[in-house]
Amino acid sequence: MIELQLSDDEHAAKKLKPEHLQQAVAAIRKDGFVVLHRAIDPNHIAVLRERMLADADKILALDDVPYQFKNGHLQQDPPPFPPYLFRDVLANDLVVDVTQAVLGEGVKNAFYSGNTCLPNPHQQPLHVDSGQLWPDLDQATPAYNLVVNVPIVDTTPHNGSTELWPGTHLDTTRAISDGDIKLAPADEERRRAERQPLQPSIPAGSVLIRDMRLWHRGMPNHSEQARPMIAMIHWPRWWHIGKPLLLAKGTEALFADSALETVAEFVDGPIDHIGRNRKHDYKPPANAVSHGASRRHSK
């Protein structure tokens, strides 16, 4: 696993040094992910942590709690209004440096959600967030989207850090058109014989960038505290974006002069970030024959 410690000089320059950029791109292409440490101001993380832990209780009080696959794995949106919006979270220059190097100029984001792993004993099914662009490929295409995960607390195997399966983004047996995003036990057994998964410890303030095709799953949280983690998706210029993000009007300047296009509608009035998500088990359509993709992201 490649982990890069970002320097004060890189933060000041708002650009990775060439060797770090090269290492990050190589890791994403080979393993399917990379971790950037010291990427986000810890004070910003602390503000988000306090609010998101409080919001989790409100979500749990809903009639339909938006669990993903298993109880305890909660879909949770961060608050999309001040004082909880931060450029180094939503449009981090050093993160964009990496995603742009992989996806090309003109990267854009229209997803701002996340997963909160509550104290629970349940393991999600092994799954992908998205399959290959086409079925029956002999070789995987380059990455066409990247998930940007921001842990809001220190994540460890004890409190449910995401299990990652290195190199599985290059597995061509799963395509977007297949249907279900869950992987069969036979797939897991086959891959485990080739390479073992890992469950990394990632401190708050770090960022995990991963290929959306990477096999992964949310794990049990054996601690007594919830483990929130924000998720965004960076897409290439040519990818069609559907609904824009809804963000509070007056925050437009936060995204100015960024190489990342934030596809958003800036609106007056309240934005319901508590009750808009729904429970999902990602069952395949009746005519599905294999596994595939979803825009929902559970970890």
Q: Which CATH superfamily is domain 3-291 in?
A: q2cbj1_9rhob like domain (2.60.120.620)
Per domain, the residue ranges of the chain are: 3-291
Summarize pLDDT for 54-96 with one digit per residue, the tens. 999 999 999 999 999 999 999 999 999 999 999 999 999 999 9
Provide the mean pLDDT of the chain. 93
> Dihedral sign, CA of 109, 156, 187, 283?
negative
**Strand bridging mode 33-37 / 207-211:** antiparallel
Query: Do 271 and 246 form a contact (C-beta atoms < 8 A)?
Result: yes
- CA–CA gap between residue 27 and residue 15 (Å, rounded): 18
What pLDDT, on a 0 to 100 scale, did the predictor assign at position 29? Answer: 98
Output the pTM of the full model.
0.92
Written in H, E and C, the secondary structure of 79-111 is CCCCCCCCHHHHCCHHHHHHHHHHHCCCCEEEE
Statement: residue 299 has pLDDT above 80: no
User: Which residues have CB under 8 Å from 7's CB, separation 6+?
Assistant: 17
Is residue 282 very low, low, confident or very high in pLDDT (cuts 50, 70, 90)?
A: low
Q: Which whole number is the average pLDDT over 39-47?
A: 98
- CA–CA gap between residue 157 and residue 25 (Å, rounded): 26
Say how far residue 256 (Cα) sits from the centre of its chain.
23
Give the other-Cβ count within 10 Å of 121's Cβ: 10
